[in-house]
Amino acid sequence: MDRASQVKELYDAWLHDTGIDEETKQELRAIQDLPEEIEDRFFRDLEFGTGGLRGVVGAGTNRINAYTVGRATQGLAAYLLESGITSPSVVIAHDSRNLSPELSLETALVLAGNGIKAYLFDSLRPTPELSFAVRYLKASAGVVVTASHNPPEYNGYKVYGKDGGQIVAEQADQIIAYIRSLEFKDIRKLSKAEAQAKGLLEIIGKEVDDAYIREVLAVSPNPAMTRKEGPNVNVVYTPLHGAGNLSIRRVLKEAGFTRVQVVPEQEQPDPLFSTVKSPNPEEKEAFTLAMQLAAQSNADIILGTDPDCDRMGAVVKNADGDYFVLSGNQSGAIMIAYLMSTLQEQGKLPDNGAIIKTIVTSELGAEIARSYGAEVLNTLTGFKYIGEKITQFERNGQYQFLFGYEESYGYLAGTYARDKDAVVASLLICEAAAYYKSKGKTLYDVLQELYQQYGYYNEALESRTLKGKDGLAQIGAIMEDWRVNPPTELNGQKIVSLLDYTHGLNGLPSENVLKYQLEDESWFCLRPSGTEPKIKVYFAVKGTSSEDANHRLEALRQAVMARIDS
């Protein structure tokens, strides 16, 4: 049977399956004369990767819906039951996206149908609180229904292990094996009333919230200074219609920041994210309304968090008084400088302190950390690898974790969680703003001082979106071309090394990533996204001045993208 026939057979099977509800069937009937749409929905099963599922919401095997989520949960349940865990339990959270509440309840009821206790948050919560809650409640696993900062049509399903970290490849492979052996008819679930009557569904909220906030506040390296100087810092915050509003405001208030304004148009949850093109603090446009409010109130710093509140972006005033959007690398460098210098002043800098970053994150933060005697370790892209390292440190005592970050606006300090946390990042960067303001400096001033001391680092990210089956093939072809036919030089600079992580390097797991290092300390990296139909290209340079770094970066970017776009 050819592929087109297989797709049509799957489509017809959904239409006639007695276990599929009528609303879903109506959605499918509406596309019966759209063969390309049918193919896109059914040409494959939505792939369960190391982070779980992520895709467009809708009917079909290649979509996020109650059936694909139910099947994934049945696979997770089988994995937990076969692992020999006594009385397994799972914590479940969700963000503000379409179907997030419904899919989180579906997850809980399928777990209950398998005799596994589900702890379900009473409303939307930040993803990092889910990571914390798994540890706090001593659960066997966690699930969060979110698509992070993806466009509104997406949703997702991320699985966490008992340490509070996203599952890694070995765990994912075992769960995937169970999922592949299942059909929709194999999904077992209870009603909500049955699950609660049997003690297999518990709604959670305030107790976990309070414990989480306490742990975040405990990360502060200088709470006395913050209580004194915090009221002098004028903060504007936007949750971008997501899950961060209550947690961020509470942490900042309890830390001592009394002048916090929330962008009113973006305060309430909205699954359409109707005031922004993309609910992503990596995008300058996401701060448009926040910068308007900040200009009116002369704010010192603007904060923005993505829908599930695990990424934080910051905007500060530059030398001309205009608002300047910090990159993830720049915010990370500032927080490392503040954290390390404060700990050193207090005599609390450990001899075995460690900073963890990813292979596509700037070297500026690493240079700062090393200057304070800290070890710097690199992981593959994905905060799950940073979380895995933290757990290793706790077990072997080799290092004391100080800070982990990635260029894509993810940060963590403290060991209460195993995932990036925009709540603690917001606290730390506001605390840094308060400290440096008391010294007569803005965070932009601090950034320029770091460049002068450590070198003018500059980075950029380009991506190309290639959707559907053909897009996946194109991404594969681009990676293969660069792997088989690597350039020997670019812009007169020799390429001194090619790091192909396909078979694992430096003790890291296997991943389809290529990193090219040039003789002038610049580098670029090609990586297919694990969550979106994109190929991402990272660039980094080190210059003798800001102008020199900008020039080097643009030249490198143009040379690489010209070949990719051809």
Rounded CA gap, 553 and 459, in Å?
Answer: 7
Q: Give me the residue spans of the domains in the chain.
A: 44-204, 212-220+231-454, 456-565
The alpha carbon of residue 422 and the mean position of all alpha carbons in its chain are separated, in whole angstroms, by: 10
17 — pLDDT class (breaks 50, 70, 90):
confident
Q: How much is the average pLDDT of 490-511?
A: 89
pLDDT digits (tens, 9 = 90+) for 433-484: 999 999 999 999 999 999 999 999 999 999 998 887 788 889 999 999 999 9
Residue carrying the six token digits 């446009």: 285
Whether domain 44-204 has CATH 3.30.300.180:
no
Rounded CA gap, 362 and 525, in Å?
Answer: 12
Strand runs labelled E in 164-265? 201-204, 235-238, 260-262
149 — pLDDT class (breaks 50, 70, 90):
confident
Contact 458, 553 (CB under 8 A): yes
Q: How much is the average pLDDT of 130-157?
A: 96
In the three-class reduction of DSSP (H, G, I as helix; E, B as strand; rest coil), residue 170 is classed as helix
Mean pLDDT of the chain: 95
The answer on pLDDT for 49 being more than 90 is no
212-220+231-454 and 456-565, same CATH topology:
no
Contact 368, 338 (CB under 8 A): no
In the three-class reduction of DSSP (H, G, I as helix; E, B as strand; rest coil), residue 500 is classed as strand
Catalytic annotation, residues: 148
Residue carrying the six token digits 């102008």: 547
Q: Determine the pLDDT at residue 1.
A: 64
pLDDT digits (tens, 9 = 90+) for 276-332: 999 999 999 999 999 999 999 999 999 999 999 999 999 999 999 999 999 999 999
Rounded CA gap, 564 and 479, in Å?
Answer: 9
Rounded CA gap, 14 and 213, in Å?
Answer: 45
Q: Determine the pLDDT at residue 329.
A: 98
Q: How much is the average pLDDT of 367-390?
A: 95
Residue carrying the six token digits 């304004």: 261
The answer on pLDDT for 344 being more than 70 is yes
CATH C-level class of 212-220+231-454: alpha beta
Q: Name the CATH code of domain 456-565 (choices 3.30.310.50, 1.10.3720.10, 3.90.1300.10, 3.40.50.1820).
A: 3.30.310.50
Q: Report which of 163, 549, 220 is spatially closest to residue 384, judged by C-alpha positions.
A: 163
Instruction: Count the neighbouring beta carbons within 10 Å of the beta carbon of residue 187.
Output: 23
Contact 267, 239 (CB under 8 A): yes
Rounded (10°) CA dihedral 69, 148, 174, 419 = -140
Which tokens is 537 given? 């290209």
Rounded CA gap, 237 and 229, in Å?
Answer: 18
Q: Report which of 157, 303, 317 is spatially closest to residue 240, judged by C-alpha positions.
A: 303
507 — pLDDT class (breaks 50, 70, 90):
confident
Label each residue of 28-44 as H, E or C. HHCCCCCHHHHHHHHCC
155 — pLDDT class (breaks 50, 70, 90):
very high
Query: How many residues are present in the chain?
Result: 566
Which tokens is 383 given? 């905060």
Report strand pairing: 117-121 vs 89-94.
parallel
Instruction: Count the neighbouring beta carbons within 10 Å of the beta carbon of residue 435.
Output: 21
Cα dihedral sign, 94-100-102-103 = negative
229 — pLDDT class (breaks 50, 70, 90):
very high
Q: Determine the pLDDT at residue 50.
A: 64
Rounded CA gap, 248 and 473, in Å?
Answer: 41
The answer on pLDDT for 491 being more than 90 is no
Within 13 Å, how many C-alpha atoms sit on residue 326's CB side?
29
The answer on pLDDT for 116 being more than 80 is yes
Q: Determine the pLDDT at residue 4.
A: 83
